[in-house]
């Protein structure tokens, strides 16, 4: 693929902090006008990759291009073209909403009025409080303000590092709606999140863990690719059940997932036999039902596959 259709191009990027490998030969491409999600738990290397792509950190190995520009040679040009919202709230708490906006606009040599249209749908929600200092805003409002400030210079690529962490469920959902609106206006967005349930809001996702990309695909395909039967199992004593399931030979993998334990069926799996077996071990109210896997199940399966390969 040529860089004309790619917003971000990452080739074998590695980065270590001392002995800790934060990124291990990571490669991915983000197409123009796409919302690409980096999904993974803390320590997956998401923030490090962001910092490398917005040219705050130098990679140890590998190359990358943002908006067709090399992150090493053209880092100054990249800086004026991207919008970056770091994981931590990074606006000035002692400045008002209005002052923060104006400051970030002048930082990029534009005025708030110039690009008002782009931020208007988001900014209108916080505009009534524009005289309030940013430090006294709620989590959701801070996040909206931060997004406005990252957008005010009309970037071509938007980098959002865990924008929904620490934000309530309603605001999170609203936030994703906003991102879809922005995508319609042609922005390419790289967004990271530790919440697996947000993966479905992305066009494509990369599942990552401990500095490695496990798989890249659309959320839909990821789930489709899940080969194996997944069952939800519950009983009265959930903790004892988990132990018994994990030692059961007919179950390949079992983990907690809310109301039901999720169990990946092995080759010798038979629901009826398992139920009997569990009841013999003293479990009451045993319920076993097939379930449709979600991204979290995919992630756990990929992870255990990888561990098996390593062993």
Residues of the shown chain interacting with another protein in the complex, contacts defined by CB under 8 A: 51, 54-58, 76, 79-80, 82, 84, 86, 88-95, 99, 102-104, 106-109, 149
Min CB(107)–another protein separation in Å: 5
Min CB(84)–another protein separation in Å: 4
Which one, 60 or 215, has the nearer CB to another protein?
60
Min CB(139)–another protein separation in Å: 16
Min CB(114)–another protein separation in Å: 14
Min CB(94)–another protein separation in Å: 5
Min CB(88)–another protein separation in Å: 4
CA-CA distance, 128 to 149, in Å (whole number)? 17
Residues 190 and 53: beta-carbon distance below 8 Å: yes
User: Rounded to the nearest 5 degrees, what angle is found at the Cα of 291, between the Cα atoms of 279 and 280?
Assistant: 5
Which one, 79 or 275, has the nearer CB to another protein?
79
Six-digit token pair at 191?
A: 């967004």
Which one, 106 or 221, has the nearer CB to another protein?
106
Which one, 56 or 169, has the nearer CB to another protein?
56
| Total residue length of the chain | 311
> In terms of C-beta distances under 8 Å and separation of at least 24 residues, what long-range contacts does 220-227 make, across chains too?
222/295, 222/298, 223/292, 223/293, 223/294, 223/295, 223/298, 225/298, 226/293, 226/297, 226/298, 226/301
Which one, 38 or 91, has the nearer CB to another protein?
91
| Nearest to 194, CA basis, from 58, 39, 5, 27 | 39
Which one, 101 or 205, has the nearer CB to another protein?
101
Which one, 94 or 168, has the nearer CB to another protein?
94
Residues 261 and 245: beta-carbon distance below 8 Å: yes
Phi, psi of 223 (to 5 degrees): -70, -40
Min CB(48)–another protein separation in Å: 10
Q: Which residue is listed with tokens 């790289």?
A: 190
Residues 156 and 79: beta-carbon distance below 8 Å: no
Which one, 41 or 93, has the nearer CB to another protein?
93
CA-CA distance, 266 to 286, in Å (whole number)? 19
Per the rule left: phi > 0, alpha: psi between -120 and 50, beta: everything else, 294 is: beta
Strand partners, 189: 35, 158
Min CB(57)–another protein separation in Å: 5
CA-CA distance, 154 to 142, in Å (whole number)? 19
**CA-based torsion, 100, 102, 105, 109: positive or negative:** negative
């Amino acid at each position: 693929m040529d860089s004309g259709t790619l917003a971000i191009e990452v080739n074998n990027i590695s980065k270590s902090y001392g002995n800790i490998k934060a990124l291990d030969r990571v490669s991915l491409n983000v197409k123009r006008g796409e919302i690409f999600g980096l999904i993974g738990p803390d320590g997956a290397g998401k923030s490090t990759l962001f910092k490398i792509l917005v040219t705050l950190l130098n990679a140890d190995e590998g190359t990358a291009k943002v908006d067709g520009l090399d992150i090493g040679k053209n880092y100054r040009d990249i800086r004026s073209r991207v919008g970056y919202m770091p994981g931590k709230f990074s606006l000035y708490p002692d400045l008002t909403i209005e002052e923060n906006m104006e400051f970030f606009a002048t930082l990029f040599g534009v005025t708030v009025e110039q690009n008002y249209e782009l931020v208007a749908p988001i900014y209108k929600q916080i505009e009534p409080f524009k005289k309030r200092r940013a430090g006294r805003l709620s989590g959701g409002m801070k996040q909206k303000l931060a997004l406005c400030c990252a957008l005010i210079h009309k970037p071509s690529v938007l980098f959002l590092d865990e924008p929904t962490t620490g934000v309530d469920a309603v605001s999170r959902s609203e936030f994703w709606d906003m991102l879809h609106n922005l995508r319609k206006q042609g922005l390419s967005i790289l967004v990271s999140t530790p919440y697996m349930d947000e993966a479905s809001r992305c066009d494509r996702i990369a599942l990552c863990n401990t500095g490695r990309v496990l798989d890249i695909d659309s959320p839909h395909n990821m789930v489709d690719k899940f080969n194996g039967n997944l069952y939800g199992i519950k009983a009265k004593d959930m903790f004892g059940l988990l132990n018994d399931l994990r030692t059961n030979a007919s179950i390949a993998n079992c983990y907690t997932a809310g109301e039901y334990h999720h169990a990946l069926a092995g080759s010798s799996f038979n629901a009826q036999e398992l139920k009997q077996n569990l009841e013999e071990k003293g479990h009451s109210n045993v319920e076993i039902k097939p379930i449709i896997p979600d991204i979290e199940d995919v992630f756990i399966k990929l992870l255990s596959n990888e561990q098996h390969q390593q062993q």
